Chain A
Amino acid sequence: MIPHGVLFAGLALSYNLRVILLGVTALGIAAGVLGAFLLFRRRSLLADTLGHATLPGVVVAFMAAAQLLDGGKPFAVLLLGALISGWFAVRAVQFLRRRTPIREDAALAIVLTVFYGAGVVLLSVVQNLELRGSSGLELYVYGMVASMSRSDAWTLAAVSVAALGVVALLFKELRALSFDEGFVAARGLPHRWLDEVLMSACLVVTIAGLPTVGLLLVMALFIVPPATARLYADTLGGTLVVAGATGAVGAVAGALASARVDHLPAGAAMILATSALFFASLVAAPRRGLLAARLRARGERRLAVESQVLRRTLGEGGLDPAHLAGCERAAVQRLVARSALVSKDAGLQLTDAGRERAHALARTEELVALYLERHPRSAPARLLLHVERIEDVAPPETITELERALGATGEVSR
């Protein structure tokens, strides 16, 4: 047993850190949920452009604050600047995509680098002017949890919760927008306007996240958690829940690591934690994971060999164990273990259960052959592989039709 003292020593968090973790949790959830909508609209990389495009706004706001406010922490001013340049960036991408032959991917890359270039120019101006506190600007590039104040954390939490509130209010509309844009337009829902709301929510959360995560990596919080969620969930609700949870866990783990390890940038730590969740899920997710796929493929292969062995035994009235290939021998062992086959003097024989199974398989084979013959176009490609149950591949009315046809021609082998 590990004594409680040791176990929780690392978790004795200061009040400050607890507030920061609260803010970061809200950020992770909001970014994950909004990112899921971006993913459904195939716009994940827009978050990337958004993050980078905030740089000129941040620097201009910093310069303006240095000129007008004379010191003080211009957190809100910098975020306002980021908001403005992010808004222009979204406009620019939309303009290039809609009004020129430049395609979306190129539009994203162009806006990203041109805005970032403007930011770099302005940064060099700030350096030349030797303004006070300009080293703090680096914060917005890399992100740092340690320097976050309590009010910053509350702001972050408030913004994230507000963005989530908007998603909750417009849930039905956003769901329609994600899956059936045509339906949205046909129902007369304000399609453009909804898109704007979604983009604005992403923009606001991106900006609130800048000081913690940094503009180089903030978009990863919008991209990685939803992709992780897709490995588990089939429904929109499920995707949103898993994406939010992944984002929150990754962000909190990263923030904690960054607060404990010197020089570890928070953004990088959060993204490493989130990516670790993604790659672990990629391998081990129950249905869509690589391991599950590998196991499923092996199971299907085994089943196919077993079916073949059963059919052969039925057809030949018995099976000589001497004439079996390697994979068949393993299949025979499994079938004997499941008492579908018994080993007798004359070789392997079907049990009653095994015979029933073999007949069912034979019938399925005939149904599939007939299905392919009658509906070559609508038949799914899976029919060409091994099919265990006709119900898996054909709609019920087709099965009724095929069975009637088989019965009429008297080909039933039972």
Chain B
Amino acid sequence: MSWNELDTWIVVSASLVAVACALPGVFLLLSRQSMMAHGIAHSVLPGIVIAHLVSGGLETPVLLAGAVAAGLACAALTRALQNLANVEPGAALGIAFTSLFAVGLTLQRLFADHVHIEPSHVLYGNLETSIFEVVLEGSSFPAVARRAALGVLVNAAFVALFFKELRAATFDPEHGASVGARPHMTSYLLMASSAFTCVVAFEAVGSILVVAMMILPPAFASLFAGTLRGTFVLSLLFAVGTSVLGHVVSRGSLGAASAAALGFEDAGSTNTAGGIAVTAGAVLALGVAVRAVLRSRSLTDESEPRADPA
């Protein structure tokens, strides 16, 4: 299998999706709300199912609005449970998103004849088949890539416009409140941005792997970067790098290796989104190892002059 136009588009789309995800992801990770990304991603299903049942259509803006509303509902419900009923934060999030997801799954199954949304598409995503329109319809810029590019633009504009507010809400909400940065409002904007990103990305990578693209890049960056700016630069590099590497691995060795390990013949190329998540995990593990080595070396470097009292 040689590299062709499809592969290029897959890599371009995946990189755009990864960059769109990493932008809000940095603030989610730093404000200790990584699992909120998971909750919001789960809310996408009920959001689009309800939007579809209410409107009767499958137009993207309607579904997008439904999904963003559901994501915000998940965030708001989590806060409400914490504040009103003193529910422990983790449990509050768990209750909010599992309830919403169960509602979505039930509605989809019960009205299966009317709902043309397959949960497994929302869950797994499929970058490869969504690119086929390049071949089938001869379109020059596939819709997935177009949507991902839109996601990058919107999220980049959001981060650029609200950078100070986001930074204040992330690192010192009380100080932020005192200088008028409105951390509460900002945090909801961040949730809305995350929900929007989930919708843009779920078609390509699925709602669970979208969390990998949001959290792994900033997690890797936080191993090495000391500043917010550095975290952003490293996150974006990681996002693009693992997207490219992930697809290369998926179409080549990953499927073959995993199949061969169990005694099957070559299984061909595998799900790219999953491949990217696994690759990102491997690179993160590598990062952890490198950091450990660097630290042990810098520790011994520092201890040498102390050992020598001259």
Task: Mark the stretch among B181-189, B214-222, B299-307 that contacts chain A.
Answer: B214-222
A217 touches B94 (CB 8 A): no
A residues in contact with B216, CB < 8 Å: 110, 113-114
B31-48: which residues lie under 8 A (CB-CB) from chain A?
A: 32-35, 37-38
B212 touches A114 (CB 8 A): yes
Q: Mark A215-244, 1 if CB is under 8 A from B, else 0.
A: 011011001101100110000000000000
Q: Does A288 contact B (CB under 8 A)?
A: yes
Task: Mark the stretch among A37-45, A71-79, A200-208 that contacts chain B.
Answer: A37-45
Q: Does A265 contact B (CB under 8 A)?
A: yes
> In the complex, what distance in Å separates the CA atom of A96 from the CA atom of B92?
24
Q: Does A318 contact B (CB under 8 A)?
A: no
B84, B85, B110, B288: the one contacting A99 at CB < 8 Å is B288
Interface contacts (Cβ under 8 Å), in number, total 214
B residues in contact with A122, CB < 8 Å: 258
Count chain B CB atoms within 10 A of each CB in A106, A120, A230 and give the residue with the most.
Answer: A120
Seen from chain B, the residues whose Cβ lies within 8 Å of a Cβ on chain A are 29, 32-35, 37-38, 81, 84-88, 90-95, 98-99, 101-103, 105-106, 109-110, 112, 119-120, 123-124, 206, 208-209, 211-212, 215-216, 219, 222-223, 250, 254-255, 258-259, 262-264, 267-271, 273-278, 280-281, 284, 288, 291-292
CB-CB nearest in chain B for A293? B84
A117, A120, A142: the one contacting B281 at CB < 8 Å is A117
B99, B120, B208, B222: the one contacting A272 at CB < 8 Å is B99
B102 touches A227 (CB 8 A): no
CB distance from A202 to the nearest CB of B (A): 14
B258 touches A100 (CB 8 A): no
> In the complex, what distance in Å separates the CA atom of A389 from the CA atom of B299?
61
A residues in contact with B106, CB < 8 Å: 264-265, 268-269, 272
B110 touches A109 (CB 8 A): no
> In the complex, what distance in Å separates the CA atom of A100 from the CA atom of B285?
11
B219 touches A102 (CB 8 A): yes
A42, A60, A109, A142: the one contacting B37 at CB < 8 Å is A109
Taking chain B's interface residues, is the majority helix, strand, or loop, or is none over half, making it mixed? helix
What are 25 A-B residue pairs whose CB atoms fall within 8 Å in the complex?
A42-B88, A42-B90, A47-B94, A67-B264, A101-B223, A102-B223, A110-B215, A110-B216, A114-B212, A114-B277, A114-B284, A116-B209, A117-B209, A117-B274, A117-B278, A121-B274, A128-B255, A128-B269, A220-B94, A231-B85, A265-B105, A268-B101, A268-B105, A269-B102, A272-B99
Q: Does A275 contact B (CB under 8 A)?
A: yes
B residues in contact with A101, CB < 8 Å: 222-223
CB distance from A163 to the nearest CB of B (A): 20
B278 touches A114 (CB 8 A): yes
> In the complex, what distance in Å separates the CA atom of A105 from the CA atom of B95?
16
Count chain A CB atoms within 10 A of each CB in B112, B255, B269, B278 and give the residue with the most.
Answer: B278
A44, A106, A129: the one contacting B219 at CB < 8 Å is A106
Seen from chain A, the residues whose Cβ lies within 8 Å of a Cβ on chain B are 39, 42-45, 47-48, 52, 60, 63-64, 67, 96, 99-103, 105-106, 108-110, 112-114, 116-125, 128-129, 138, 141-142, 216-217, 219-220, 223-224, 226-227, 230-231, 261, 263-265, 267-269, 271-272, 275, 278-279, 282, 288, 290
A119 touches B274 (CB 8 A): yes
CB-CB nearest in chain A for B41? A113
CB distance from A286 to the nearest CB of B (A): 14
> In the complex, what distance in Å separates the CA atom of A279 from the CA atom of B280?
38
> In the complex, what distance in Å separates the CA atom of A227 from the CA atom of B270?
40
CB distance from A294 to the nearest CB of B (A): 11
CB-CB nearest in chain A for B255? A125
Q: Known pairs A48-B94, A105-B34, A268-B106. 10 more at Cβ < 8 A?
A: A42-B88, A63-B259, A105-B35, A129-B267, A231-B85, A265-B109, A271-B101, A272-B99, A282-B85, A288-B86
A residues in contact with B206, CB < 8 Å: 120
Count chain A CB atoms within 10 A of each CB in B85, B288, B291 and give the residue with the most.
Answer: B85
CB distance from A349 to the nearest CB of B (A): 43
A121 touches B254 (CB 8 A): yes
A125 touches B258 (CB 8 A): yes
> In the complex, what distance in Å separates the CA atom of A408 from the CA atom of B102?
67
CB-CB nearest in chain B for A43? B90
> In the complex, what distance in Å separates the CA atom of A231 from the CA atom of B34?
27
> In the complex, what distance in Å separates the CA atom of A261 from the CA atom of B93?
29
CB-CB nearest in chain A for B32? A105
> In the complex, what distance in Å separates the CA atom of A268 from the CA atom of B209?
21
A106 touches B99 (CB 8 A): no
- With A45-B35, A223-B95 known as contacts, the answer to whether A121 contacts B255 (CB < 8 A) is yes
B267 touches A125 (CB 8 A): yes
- With A113-B209, A220-B102 known as contacts, the answer to whether A121 contacts B270 (CB < 8 A) is yes
- With A105-B32, A110-B281, A113-B209 known as contacts, the answer to whether A120 contacts B271 (CB < 8 A) is yes
B208 touches A224 (CB 8 A): no
B35, B123, B208, B291: the one contacting A100 at CB < 8 Å is B291
A residues in contact with B105, CB < 8 Å: 142, 216-217, 265, 267-268
> In the complex, what distance in Å separates the CA atom of A52 from the CA atom of B124?
13
